Amino acid sequence: MSHSGAYGRGFGEKFGLAEVPSLLTRVLRKADVAVTEVRSDDPVPRYTEAMPREDAYLVAVQLREFPRHEYWEEGRQVPVHDLLAGQTTFYDLKRNPVACIDKPYHGIFFYIPRTAFNLVADELNAARIGELDYRPGAGVSDPTTLSLAQSLRAALAEPQRATRLFVDHVTLALATHVAQTYGGLVPPIEPIRGGLAPWQLRRAKELLTANLDGALSVREIARECGVSVSHFSRAFRVSAGMAPHSWLLGRRVERARSLLPNRRLSLSEVALACGFADQSHFTRIFTREVGVSPGTWRRTLGGP
């Protein structure tokens, strides 16, 4: 993970944290979009350290109530607000944001540079956005950002189990939602409603099936299909009835069901053959999708 002051280890250091869970994706070509989780149950009171100015935003989802959020932009303190668990706050990195950290805190921060917003607009054939509309230091209730942040908590806890496909999907959705809701992004009046052409859907499924570990990115699959990232994500859902990463999970489980009757293979070997990080990851996903654990399925349904 990069040492940038706006995400990853460099960002954690601004809070006095030596290590922080973080994820980085380049679903939008050369635009880094990153996610960092920061948490301290007993912080040493301090002000966050200054970050290099850049044309980018931090979109923070609060996972814990933070009363009396004292916050400064350009050296001027803004009105104090109580931040509630589940609320979203915005920090403009062009405006030298500084906060007082004097109480327990827990939040997930999305780093979104201007280039990412521009690429989202370009892929939707929409006008590029200006500045985000937000109240400095205040939180807003946004179920979409909260849901997207919550969906990444398991990936942040165990990044080795997170597929690039899933992280790409969530970060692209977050950047698009923020651009539309707070930046005034307006997609074309007549958006593309159709799905992928049969050959495109077939090619996408071939690529996903050949890379069950999820190491292939959305951008690489979209390029193979000759479409933009944003169009591919929407069109695949139309054609397949689900997002690419959900379809991939289904294929992993399907592959596992075909291998489990072979008792010469251990459960851990089946897990690795199907693209899961390890046996516990396999067990959790298989149980969620099938309703019983792989071991139980093998004993009762998997045949001799």
Give per-residue pLDDT as tens, 239-289.
988 888 889 989 999 999 889 888 888 999 998 888 888 888 889 889 988
What domains, with CATH codes, occur in the chain?
8-183 (2.60.120.10), 195-304 (1.10.10.60)
pLDDT at residue 189 above 80? Answer: no
Cβ neighbourhood burial of 263 (10 Å; 0-12, 13-18, 19+) = exposed
pTM of the model: 0.76
Both tokens of residue 51? 């970050």
Angle at 174 between CA 202 and CA 76, to 5 degrees: 160
Distance CA 180, CA 188 (A): 12
pLDDT at residue 192 above 60? Answer: no
35-50 burial: b if 16+ Cβ within 10 Å, else e? bbbbbeeebeeeebee
User: 61, 83 in Cβ contact below 8 A?
Assistant: no
